[in-house]
Amino acid sequence: MKTVYLGTSDFAATVLRRLADSPHRPLLIVTPPDRPRGRGRKTLPPPAAVVAKELGIELLQAEDVNGADAMDAIRAVKPEAVAVCAFGQLIREPLLSEVPLVNVHPSLLPRWRGAAPIERTIMAGDECTGVTIMRVTAGLDSGPVALCEELAIGPEDDFETLSGRLAALGGELLVKALDLQSSGGLEFVEQDEGDATYAEKIDSAERRLDPARPAHELARTVRALTPHIGAYLEVGGGGRLGVRRARPVDVSVKLGDVRAEWGALLLGCGQRALRLEVVQPEGGKPMAADAYLRGHPLPTL
């Protein structure tokens, strides 16, 4: 099939690689312009743009996919399908109606519609998630579903490991969907609105680990925000101690106290204690807790 691909993130780049290795290799990739990224705020291209250039596929970096230039470029390809994955721009008419649009969404829709489905599924303690192939409509991830496949969430999965496995699955499901569409066998079923939940964008306040909460909730927050956003503890003097790996343990530690034991830091929480195994001092790199303790005083909250 003649396809166009709309994608931006690392997740979208992984899916793009699989799509490009199929009979539905896109003729055009649309992604946003280069943006300042990372701690140094260096201007860098989106991951999907990097892959497009590597694969030698025509690339358009557009502020608005609904704008005249982007629409002209898409129409020039005369696509039979437009695949959308972690794109980050709202798609409006006339593009919604001009060509079939299928979206790769990393959740089991209608659960976790919205901007942060991978983070929210980990934070909620879900035991499984998955990938859904759906039709793009004007609503927020509310279009009818064609394909859906589950994926178990492991107890050690963080955002990086889970998103990598979901992206690999997403690429396979997208190719399967386009295979079915090319043969006229792709069918859609409406979502049950009564089961819908929403994955709101992660607020900056959610990064702070509040010891008053149960340790298992804090551990899930750490996993959900590692490594791309990062969770942290507020420590004495207004500083921050990043937490990159942690797990709940059945140890008695006074609420809000930090204790050093077994080469780790133990934080007293509202329920149980949180064992901090990998931390990141301000301005530094992630390190094991025992290495941190060799060069830093015991943090206080």
Asked which of 173, 199, 225 is the last residue of a domain, the reply is 199
Query: pTM of the predicted model, to two decimals?
Result: 0.95
Residue 256 and residue 179 share a domain: no
Amino acid 32: pLDDT: 97
Asked which of 199, 222, 256 is the last residue of a domain, the reply is 199
In a domain, 222, yes or no: yes
Amino acid 292: pLDDT: 96
- Decide: residue 258, CB within 10 A, 0-12 exposed, 13-18 middle, 19+ buried: buried
pLDDT in tens, the chain (301 residues): 999 999 999 999 999 999 999 999 999 999 999 998 776 778 999 999 999 999 999 999 999 999 999 999 999 999 999 999 999 999 999 999 999 999 999 999 999 999 999 999 999 999 999 999 999 999 999 999 999 999 999 999 999 999 999 999 999 999 999 999 999 999 999 999 999 999 999 999 999 999 999 999 999 999 999 999 999 999 988 899 999 999 999 999 999 999 998 888 999 999 999 999 999 999 999 999 999 999 999 999 9
CA distance 111 to 267: 32
Asked which of 199, 222, 255 is the last residue of a domain, the reply is 199
How would you classify residue 272: left for phi > 0, otherwise alpha for psi between -120 and 50, otherwise beta?
A: left
Helix, strand, coil: what percent of the chain each, to 5?
A: 30, 30, 40
Amino acid 203: pLDDT: 97
Residue 180 and residue 31 share a domain: yes
Amino acid 184: pLDDT: 95
In a domain, 246, yes or no: yes
Domain assignment of residue 236, given as a range: 204-295
